[in-house]
Every structure is written in C-alpha cells, then in structure tokens.
C-alpha cells in the first residue's frame, strides 16, 4: 500500500485540527456533557470511521478495508477496557465532573503522540526483522493470560507509580482545580491538579499501547491503517467515557473476552512468524509450512468474540441484579 506523503500529512493535520478545536472548546466551557451531546459527537466519530473504512475499501481493495475495520474494532475494544482504569484514576484524584473532559482530552492527546511513535518504531522493526512477530505474538499471549487471571478488584487497587509521585513532589502546584494545566499563584507559574491527572492518564496509556500496537500489527502490516485505526478509536474515547461509564460495570466478562481476542491475535502472529521464518534455529532458517489466518476470518472472529462477550456480560449483570448480587466483583 503506497500512501503518498500528502495523505499522511493531511491525516495528521485533520486530527490535529479536531483536537485543537476540542481543547479550545473544552477550556472555554468546562462542563459535564449531557448524554445527548456525547451520543451525537460519538455518532459523528463512528460514522466518520465507517465512511473512511468504506472509502479505503473502494480505493485499495476489500482486503485493506477489512484490515481497517478489524484493527479499528480491536483498538476500540481495548480502549473500552482502558476506561475502567481511567474511571479509577479520576476517582483516586477526586477530579470534579466538569473538569474530567479536560483531563481526558489531554490524556488522549498524549496517547495519540505516544502511539504514533510506537507505530513508526513497530513498522521499522517489522521491516528490518521478521522475527519480531514472534515477540509480538508471545507478548500478546502472555498479556491475554494475565488479563484473564486478574480481577477488577486488583485494578481498583491502582496507585500512582514512582514517576507520578516524583512529579507530585517536585513540580510546584496548587490545589485549586482549573481547566488549565498551569496557572499563576502569587506571581509564580504552578501546575494545577489537572496536570498530575493528565500525567497519570498518559503513563497509563503508555502501558496500554504495549499490547494494542502489537495487536493491530497482527491484523495489518500497513502503518497507515494502524495509524488511522488508532486515531478513530481514540478520538471518540472521551465521549465513550461519559456515555457508558455506568455500563462498564455491567461488562463483567470484558476482560475475559479481550484476553481471548489478544490470544487469538497472538496465535495469528506466531503462525505468520513461522510462515515468514528466517531464524536459523527454527526449521534450519526456512519458512515453516503452517496455515495463516485470513483477515476475513480475523474480522469475523473479532466480531464474534466481542458480540458474545457483550451479550453474556449483560445477561449475567441483569440476572445478578434481579437476585441482588453485585456482579462487578
């Protein structure tokens, strides 16, 4: 897939323009968005992603279009799971509702910058070293096992890491909440509490990127598709936070479903690595004749896994609610 430079620049420029508008709008009007507001904006982002995928389908063929939709759904589902931690971070720092949009928006900007770097580093590694797929695949399977065995009670125990505590100790700050990252107090420039929250969100997303980027490279090797799938998934994350914050507690099998999804992609990556094998200690450095999983099968598996996970979660939550059981633990 030969993407011209102008297409890369245009994509990044549009994303930057949308984020700049959001920053200005949220800074001037800090508030807790209504359900109608977030549903409308989220609908616009989802529609834009679908239209982009269809356009890619017609411009580059069905395989590339399918890769985009598979990657977008995977990144979106992983982003939804990330919201569990975001909600906990907001609660831990006691962020007022009207300033949560600001914290999320800056956190998303950091996430986009970090993931863009990861995407290009990953693309360079894949182009130079085919064996990196072994590492990606093994890491995803490890992450899948870890995700399946940990509970949300462990996530509730989230505490600021060493880097965040260092910022809290060393950066001059105020306790007054504001939609700005920095303000002036007694003539000195100091950080607001939002600044520390944004650092926490950014550090958290750095960890999330370690599994989300290898996961999407398991579905497509095209950096442009990886970038656009991530942009569309992250752009609507802020609205999704407010829209389904309460619903997240009902998705009791989400971690289990995502672990199955990551394990599936991990196996797909290892099969691909074997098929492209050049390591001398595996089959004498020759390609291994193993079957590869087509992207259409991958997309079908992703939809099936996410669909079953959602339906099963809502069924259990509703059943437990009728019986007076707290299913979120």
More confident residue, 154 or 9: 9
- Extract the tokens encoding 258: 């995502």
What are the backbone dihedrals phi and psi of residue 285, each rounded to the nearest 5 degrees, phi first?
Answer: 80, 5
Entry pTM: 0.83
pLDDT value at residue 325: 65
Closest CA to 103 of 208, 170, 178: 178
pLDDT bucket at 79, cuts 50 / 70 / 90: confident
pLDDT value at residue 253: 86
- The arithmetic mean of pLDDT across residues 286-305, rounded, is 89
C-alpha span between 78 and 227 (Å, rounded): 15
pLDDT value at residue 151: 60
pLDDT value at residue 297: 92
pLDDT bucket at 157, cuts 50 / 70 / 90: low
pLDDT value at residue 327: 55
Averaged pLDDT of the chain: 84
């Amino acid at each position: 897939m030969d993407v011209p430079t102008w297409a890369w620049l245009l994509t990044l420029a549009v994303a930057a323009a949308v984020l700049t508008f959001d920053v200005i709008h949220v800074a001037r009007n800090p508030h807790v968005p209504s359900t109608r507001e977030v549903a409308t904006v989220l609908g616009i982002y989802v529609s834009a992603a679908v239209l982009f995928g269809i356009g890619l389908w017609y411009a580059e063929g069905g395989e590339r279009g399918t890769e985009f939709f598979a990657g977008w759904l995977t990144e979106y589902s992983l982003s939804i799971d990330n919201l569990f931690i975001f909600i906990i971070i907001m609660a831990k720092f006691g962020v007022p509702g009207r300033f949560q949009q600001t914290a999320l928006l800056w956190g998303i900007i950091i996430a986009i910058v970090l993931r863009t770097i990861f995407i290009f580093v990953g693309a360079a590694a894949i182009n130079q070293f085919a064996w990196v797929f072994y590492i990606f695949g093994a890491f995803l399977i490890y992450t899948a096992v870890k995700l399946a065995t940990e509970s949300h009670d462990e996530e509730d125990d989230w505490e600021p890491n060493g880097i965040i505590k260092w910022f809290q100790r060393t950066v001059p700050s105020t306790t007054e909440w504001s939609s700005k990252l920095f303000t002036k107090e007694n003539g000195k420039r100091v950080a607001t509490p939002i600044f520390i929250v944004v650092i926490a969100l950014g550090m958290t997303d750095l960890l999330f990127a370690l599994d989300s980027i290898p996961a999407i490279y398991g579905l497509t090797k095209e950096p442009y598709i990886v970038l656009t799938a991530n942009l569309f998934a992250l752009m609507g994350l802020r609205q999704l936070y407010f829209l389904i914050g309460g619903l997240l507690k009902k998705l009791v099998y989400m971690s289990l479903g995502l672990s199955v999804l990551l394990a599936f992609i991990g196996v797909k990556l290892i099969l691909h690595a074997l098929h492209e094998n050049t390591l001398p200690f595996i089959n004498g450095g020759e390609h291994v004749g193993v079957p590869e999983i087509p992207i259409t099968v991958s997309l079908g598996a992703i939809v099936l896994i996410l669909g079953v996970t959602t339906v099963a979660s809502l069924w259990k939550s509703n059943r437990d609610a009728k019986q007076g059981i707290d299913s979120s633990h």
